[in-house]
Amino acid sequence: MRASNRNPKQPRRSGRGARTSAKLHSTPTSRPRSGGLVESRRSSKARSTHQPEGLDAADIIAVTLALARKVGFGQLSMRQIAAQLGVTATALYYHFHDKNELLDRVSGHIMDSIEIPDGRLPWGERLRQVVLNQQATLMAYPGLARFMVHYRESAGALRWIETILAVLHDAGFRDKEMTRALATLSFFVHPLTLVDDRPHPGLQQVYRRRRLAQRLQTDSSRYPCLTQLMPALIEAPYESYLPVALDGVIAGIAARLERSRQGAARTSVHREPRPHR
């Protein structure tokens, strides 16, 4: 007789009980979560090895740029892009591993397209124009700012940083001074670019007239200063606030730079060796 390896104290399971036990002890299969900024259904699959005839990466990027401006980064799908190109979604994966890789490339193209001001301008004015151009671009492509915040090592995010650093470097900022200025400017972002992924046509008011008036009329005693300023506030769009706020930020960076340089100069004077008598 053939010897059995089964423990004689363990009863043999068969039928429905055995199947239920196997199901309970099996390793669950993970499923991709839905939602989020990017789709990566094929992230664990190999890139397609069949190159679609007449389709290259530049065509895909061009169509994605147009769609991103129209519907926003968060609403893009590979099927939408493929439909615009007249191909199947599978054809896109020959050039891009997944949508995340495609949007990474697209974000880099967008940030590369931003106009760089004349290097002969004073650094403060040059920096002002760079930041305003960046903010206008982020508004033109809804969801791009959120994508770059979420993927801080993407081509777009790195290009955004490099453009600012180049202005500071040309102005003679030292490493520590550039780091502080970049940290300050990193928090200067148009709020609507982070709210959602929808396009925002036209000027956007900071406050909605009717809603604000209703709230203040309900309990104006709680908001006396706001009630007084309401006529001016409801007329100002975000676009008018941005330059004013940016001017204050750059003035702060310039003042801090001046204090740093003055402190370094005083330290250098104190360290100079005294002549021997």
DSSP one-letter string for 12-35: PP-THHHHHHHHHHSPPPP-PPP-
**Which residues neighbour 185 within 8 Å (Cβ) at sequence distance 6 or greater?**
131, 164, 249, 253
Rounded Cα gap, residues 7 and 11, in angstroms: 8
Say if 98 falls within a structural domain: yes
Greater confidence (83 vs 192) lies with 83
What is the CATH classification number for the domain harbouring 80?
1.10.10.60
Say if 168 falls within a structural domain: no
pLDDT band at 61 (very low <50, low <70, confident <90, very high): very high
Confidence (pLDDT) at 47 = 55
Least confident of 31-45, 69-83, 126-140, 146-160: 31-45
* Residue 62, pLDDT above cutoff 60: yes
Confidence (pLDDT) at 50 = 61
Rounded Cα gap, residues 230 and 200, in angstroms: 23
Confidence (pLDDT) at 196 = 65
* Residue 27, pLDDT above cutoff 70: no
Say if 273 falls within a structural domain: no
The two structure tokens encoding residue 91: 């054809």
Map tokens 């908001």 to a residue: 223
Say if 94 falls within a structural domain: yes
* Residue 34, pLDDT above cutoff 50: no
pTM listed for this prediction? 0.72
* Residue 36, pLDDT above cutoff 50: no
Is residue 115 within 8 Å of 101, Cβ to Cβ?
no
Computed over every residue of the chain, the mean pLDDT equals 80
Say if 33 falls within a structural domain: no
Least confident of 37-41, 75-79, 209-213, 236-240: 37-41
Q: In total, how many domains does the chain have?
A: 1
Rounded Cα gap, residues 45 and 158, in angstroms: 27
Say if 68 falls within a structural domain: yes
Say if 160 falls within a structural domain: no
Say if 118 falls within a structural domain: no
Mean pLDDT on 232-241: 76
Write out pLDDT tens, residues 107-116. Answer: 999 999 999 9
* Residue 219, pLDDT above cutoff 80: yes
* Residue 143, amino acid: G
Which domain, by its residues, includes 85? 57-107
